[in-house]
Amino acid sequence: MTLHGVLFAYCLMFAQALSPDYSHKRVTASKFVRPGHPPQNISQLISEAPNVARIARIFPSSQWDSIFPHANKDEGPASSPYNYSNFLGAAWKFPYFCGEPDQSDEECMHELVVMFSHIVQETGGKRDHPGPGGAELDGLYWYREIGCYDPGNPHHEICGKQYCSEAGIWGVFPCGNRAYYGRGAKQLSWNYNYAFFSKAMTGTAETYLTEPDRIITDGWPALASAIWFWMTPQLPKPSMHEVVTGLWTPNAADLAAGIVVGFGTTTNIINGAMECGQGTESSYSSYRMQYYRALCDTLKAQCFSEVAADGCGKMNSQFPEAGTAGNGPLIYLDKSWSGSQECAPVKYQMPFLVGQDETSCLCHFWPQNTVCSATVQVQTTSNAVSHSSKVNTGSEDSKITNTIKSTTTTPEKKNSILGDCVGAIVPEWGECTGSTCCAAGLKCYEYNQWWAACRSDCDPQSSWSCQVLSDISQESAVEETSVSSREFTHLRGNKEEGESTTVTSKQHDSGCDQVGAEWSGCTEHHCCGEGLQCYEQNQWWAQCLKSCDPQQKSKASGTPWTCKILTH
């Protein structure tokens, strides 16, 4: 059989899969995180987010109760933090979770089944009775890694497991005497994962680095941490979301490593080093397989048809760099070895993220750079919000009241000079339901009455209504923009509630909502400050620079600069 035939056969393992698409814009869109706190009212969650409306329709609270009867250490599925309201709140943060364009209800249910199967393995309490009506219904029992919780000092540990990596570059995520053992539905572990999750949820790494047990006591993050891991690729691994939806398909390098479309690949992503590549199935991989097939039956889901692909024992536990995901969009930054002061995308994991940490990366390696010493007028007001939730600590019941820094901003809304669009400029595939201003060349197309996104085009034969809510993108503006105090070059990052940072800057004639400082990334918005141009290095990366040498070659990424000017 030809390679094309093999790939086609593997695609048929799950007939309902989306069309394969591992393009830069699709992968980037799927990772989008909605800023702010989820609404506490279920009706509001449903009305604001079409993916939540779908989940609530096909997977109502009665089903949540039926498959998680022992949740919260037998307090039940209505207790905290593992309850239906917190689950919908967590889903609200990720619009593409059960919300990919053209994704069907059947595909969404399958996505839930696969994720729940892994959650049962990570948090199940009674594994001595597998089978229908048995251990697959015992998920979300544990809040934290067994034996590690210290009720007198919840951010520490009493199990001798700190899960801290501060060697070399990872010292940017200092642990102190805090512990980062498994917490939440995914049992999120290690300081760097807490930091990345914290950045995604709150806009800063410090939130959960400083107070790691808030992943449990804040409520919805206990479940959001699992969805974040589900949605986030880890180069050269794809995300589990991409595997299950069919957006990712294996190429020749993946197939040579035994990595195929199927449930086993999701196990390889979540814990391949411990459970996969052993020739035969490990006991833990076998448990996951049992839970998966049992939940497929319980929830009547259309699951992977090829049962032989449920395991990962014969897969290489290392995803190949030449695989589909290994050739996907670069998401980490490291210093460039070209001799110039710049950070560039790389294929290996680093603490700095593309599109978010350009300034942090630059100033870590070159703290004397003029960008790092620039003064920014910042006004910060921290409002404390008290949240009270009953949480079983594992040793005793306790009423926990948490004082939490809010994570939503109320920036001043600006109208474009065209007068027809309200709010910030939205990039491709970004939500424009409440802000109908799309980036240049895009229109705000309606998906349904609850949701719309900025797209270059829309097929009315798809599940989208394709009604154009606004076909106007901003052409020019000069405005005062509210930005995050953590990254003043990332002007559309998740902003903290009560945290208002003001930078006055002259915008380009394009009406740029984002203006990059020197050395900052401009891959998506192409907007740079005075005296700078957005120069392209390659199809994945561009930076704001004063000049560009086409003979320059970045040792970090191994590619030369095209020096194409992308500035509007």
The amino acid occupying position 376 is V
- Tokens representing 402 are 């948490």
ω into residue 20 within 30 of 0, thus cis?
A: no
Place of tokens 């007198």: 152
In angstroms, the CA 441 to CA 453 distance is: 13
ω into residue 81 within 30 of 0, thus cis?
A: yes
> b or e along 78-97 (b: 16 or more beta carbons within 10 Å of the residue's beta carbon)?
ebbbbbbbbbbbbbbbbbbb
Residues 6+ apart with CB under 8 A from 98: 51, 54, 55, 91, 108, 111, 112
Nearest to 566 by CA among 441, 457, 478, 455: 441
In angstroms, the CA 380 to CA 175 distance is: 25
Which of the 8 DSSP states describes residue 105?
A: H
Residue numbers annotated as active site? 122
Residues 6+ apart with CB under 8 A from 58: 105, 108, 109
Residue 106 three-state SS: helix
In angstroms, the CA 83 to CA 76 distance is: 8
Cross-sheet strand order for the sheet of 468-470: 451-455, 443-448, 468-470
Helix (H) or strand (E) holding 160: none
Alpha-carbon torsion angle 125, 129, 130, 131, nearest 10: -130
CA angle 430/433/436 to nearest 5° reads 80
**Residue 501 near residue 378 (C-beta atoms within 8 A):** yes
- As to burial, measured by CB atoms within 10 angstroms (0-12 exposed, 13-18 middle, 19+ buried), residue 369 is middle
Q: How many residues does the chain have?
A: 568
In angstroms, the CA 30 to CA 23 distance is: 11
- Tokens representing 213 are 């047990």
In angstroms, the CA 485 to CA 479 distance is: 18
